[in-house]
Amino acid sequence: MARKKSILGGRPAEPGETILEIILRLTNKDKRTVKIGLPPRAPGEAKIGPSAVLRKVAPLDQAAVETGQMKRLGKNTTSDSVNPGGPYTLVVSYRLKTPPPPQLKIDLGAFRWYSTPLQDQSYWELLWEEKVINGKKQHVGVIKAQVTLPVRMEKVS
C-alpha cells in the first residue's frame, strides 16, 4: 500500500516522497519475546528477528529507499518486539524517493530451530546455503517462497 502518511505515525511524506507499507500477519511460535529487527533495504540485508524472513523486496532499490522500519501494530501503540503467540499485525514501512512500483516481489526465507547443548541455548536461525556468485562461494539465505503483491495507492487525509 502506497500512501502519503504512515499508519505507524511519524512525519508525513514530503513532496516527491511516498510511504510504501507492507502489512503482514505473524505468529511467534517461540517461548520468548523476540525483537522484530529492520526490514531489508538491499537483498539479504536483514539477518535477525522476524524481519529476516524478508530476504528481498523487489524492485526496491537501496538508492530509492530513504529509511525502513518494521513494527508490531497494536491498539493505539506500536512495538519493536513480538510476544509469544499471536497472530500479530506487522507493518513494514519504506520511504521511497521514487514513485512506487505497480507490484512487489518478495522472497521469503526459512528458519530452523537451533540448539547449542554446550551453551544451553536454543533459538530460531535462518537457513543458509552455499552458492557460487560471480565466481565466489557465498552463504545466502534459503528462499522458501516468492510472493508477488500488487501495490495500491491510498489517499490518506
C-alpha cell at 128: 543458509
Q: Per the domain annotation, does 66 fall within a domain?
A: yes
Q: Per the domain annotation, does 117 fall within a domain?
A: no
Band of residue 103 on the pLDDT scale cut at 50, 70, 90: very high
Q: Per the domain annotation, does 113 fall within a domain?
A: no
Band of residue 135 on the pLDDT scale cut at 50, 70, 90: very high
Task: Give the integer Cα–Cα distance in Å for 84 and 38.
Answer: 19
Q: Per the domain annotation, does 11 fall within a domain?
A: yes
Task: Give the integer Cα–Cα distance in Å for 79 and 8.
Answer: 10
Q: Per the domain annotation, does 118 fall within a domain?
A: no
- Could you tell me the residue range of the domain that residue 98 belongs to? 2-108+145-150
pLDDT digits (tens, 9 = 90+) for 24-47: 888 888 788 887 776 665 555 555
Q: Per the domain annotation, does 94 fall within a domain?
A: yes
Residue 63 has pLDDT above 70, yes or no: no
Q: Per the domain annotation, does 129 fall within a domain?
A: no
CA atoms within 13 A on the CB side of 150: 3
Mapping DSSP to helix (H, G, I), strand (E, B) and coil, where does residue 29 land? coil
Q: Per the domain annotation, does 58 fall within a domain?
A: yes
Q: What is the gyration radius of the CA atoms in the chain, in angstroms?
A: 17
- 0.85 exceeded by the pTM? no
Backbone dihedral region for residue 16 (phi beyond 0: left; psi -120 to 50: alpha; all else: beta): left
Q: Domain count of the chain?
A: 1
C-alpha cell at 30: 517461540
Count CB neighbours of 53 within 10 A: 21
